[in-house]
Chain A
Amino acid sequence: MSLTQPTHSTQSLIQLEHLCKSYSLQDAHGHTITTQVLHQIDLTIRQGEFVAIMGHSGSGKSTLMNILGCLDTPTSGSYWLSGRNVATLSSNELAQIRNRNIGFVFQGFNLLKRMTALDNVATPLLYAGISRSKSRQQALEFLRRTGLEDFAMHQPNQLSGGQQQRVAISRALINHPSLILADEPTGNLDTQTSNDIMQLFEQLNRDQGITIILVTHENDIAAYAKRLIHLKDGRITIDNDTTAAAPLHEAE
């Protein structure tokens, strides 16, 4: 265990140090069983990376993503996001970070039911304090970019899976986040649609420099990413961090 104070470079968007997560459950006899899901994770992800996380079911991928997305808190260890220790942030500040800095894309889309695609995309702007009419205007623009302007007034149950996921991506993008977290975004989609979605991510990463972290079970989906991380039983077993060797070059 290192006693030296780690440095937090401004280029590292995400820095995890000895991050652990465990759950306590009561068994049938009322005894508390603690299961550790994440073990001493150390991980640095820099601004502009495109990372794929892979691993068996139950290896802790979603748990890690939830912590990265400030939806969950680690049991121990620390998480630095843009140089700020997440543990020190209030729930209001975390909500603001989720609103402004992070965009989520889920396997099950997680759109708000009985609400039009337009309003779904506009809602993060409402939480950012922007007026409803302005929010809708911007939302329409984002739907147009993902080719969905004709479906603006459709509710989620009137859209195909691919369309729903593109609505979800539009919603994730609307506040211009620096980080997109996608937990199995193509898990419910066919190959063709999956490729369309992945091309969209690739383009966002390349053209806008948005950091993308995605979880997938499929190798050809992971192939879109530049960096591959393998989790096994809550530990990182493979990390082909091609840029880590030369962080100084990254800084220019």
Chain B
Amino acid sequence: MNLSAIFGEALRALRQNRLRTGLTMLGMIIGVAAVVLMLSIGQGARTKINETIAAMGSNLLLVVPGAMSSGGFSFGSGSVRTLTINDAHAIAELASIRATAPVTSGTVQLNYAAKNWSTLITGTTPEYFEVGNWTMESGTAFTESEVRSAARVVVLGSITAKNLFGDEEPVGKTIRITNRPFLVVGVLMAKGQSLTGRDQDDNVFVPISTSERQITGNQFPGSIRYMLVQGASANEMDIAEIEITQLLRQRHRIPNGKDNDFTVRNLTAIADVATDAAKIMSIVLGAIASVSLLVGGIGIMNIMLVSVTERTREIGIRMAIGANQRAILTQFLLEAMMICIMGGLIGLIIGIGGAWLVSQVADMLIVITVGMIGLAFLFSSAVGIFFGFYPARKAASLKPVDALRYE
């Protein structure tokens, strides 16, 4: 008997018992749908984190003033002012470093026309936009010479721009920052939340010199809140960290044996932790969903065993008219596999539909990949083979005479 004929016999048997086939399939449908849904949620979370990390910029080090305390480090605590713009310039000269961006910050009041808006101000250099992987929605960043001349130019974060200007084009307009006029030269593309959940788009950026002299003022001239450092290559980040530490200790004249008055943090390493966490989450979700697939598989095995017992006489008749063991085995295996694969396909569709629903209702990023679809398909056929084999073998190994005599 060729495979297509056996396939036909298996299909006929499934059709003869529609209700049972449907109920068995339901176990499979739920299992596969759960796996697809969980995988897509997990994958969505990973993609979201990866996007955030990519938006953050690559090979980033954060240098903040103050020693690292045992309980972690206090990010940008205003009291310690040991880092300077010149430190940033010096670090930028290191071979392992591509660029540095010194940052000062504060809170300011903005005005445009009748609108008021209070937000964060960042004083920095043009490198900041490069290192932080910012792209311009319109206009440009301020320039090196505008930093040198402490020009009154400003780059707006997307939310700030939206709040002040609405649908109006901000570039070329003048806004007032603490009552001084500033020319808007650029608007940044939105980035969303940072890894720590902070909104990065409600912010304005001015040259660091302008900020220090005209807006926030500075009781320690030249000191900065923190600096972003971009390493030259991903595999030299450790070297970069060591070189920065050596250079800063030397510049700050820290004698051997004394603690650093600054802290170097590898942001990429922090990102890795977040990525790992997301990965673990999706594995856990997948594992939980797999349990339901397993239960579905056991359900199939159970039904197939009942089916073999119930159809013992049929098996006997088939053997008497010439079915060999392989034909019987193949038929029962195919029955189990068809239940699994059809259930798998329906489950896949429901899983994708469910994922879409979750993305709409919970406003979550849901990612469905071809690999996931393949995996669901592979998984359900594997379940079919695994749980279908034992009942099928049981059917095939019946002695013809015993099967025929079975009541």
Contacts and interface: CB of A to CB of B under 8 A. Distances in A.
Given A72-B401, A132-B8, A110 B322 contact: no
Contacts of A96: 322, 324
Nearest to A126: B5
22 contacts: A66-B404, A69-B320, A70-B400, A71-B320, A91-B325, A92-B325, A92-B326, A98-B319, A98-B400, A99-B322, A100-B322, A110-B316, A110-B404, A112-B318, A113-B314, A115-B12, A123-B318, A123-B321, A126-B1, A127-B321, A128-B1, A132-B8
B5 A92 contact: no
Contacts, number: 75
Interface in A40-63: none
A6 interface: no
Contact of A127 (B322, B401, B404): B322
A153 interface: no
A104 B325 contact: no
A127 B400 contact: no
Given A95-B324, A98-B321, A110-B316, 12 more contacts: A66-B404, A71-B319, A71-B400, A72-B399, A91-B324, A92-B325, A92-B326, A98-B320, A98-B322, A114-B16, A127-B321, A131-B2
B284 to A, nearest CB: 46
Given A91-B325, A95-B323, A129-B2, A66 B401 contact: yes
A172 B256 CA distance: 101
Interface residues of A, number: 30
B317 interface: yes
A110 B324 CA distance: 18
A166 interface: no
Interface in B287-327: 313-314, 316-327
Nearest to A135: B5
Interface string A104-125: 1010001111110000000110
B321 to A, nearest CB: 4
B180 to A, nearest CB: 89
B313 to A, nearest CB: 8
Contacts of B321: 98-99, 104, 123-124, 127, 171
A164 interface: no
Contact of B327 (A66, A112, A114, A127): A127
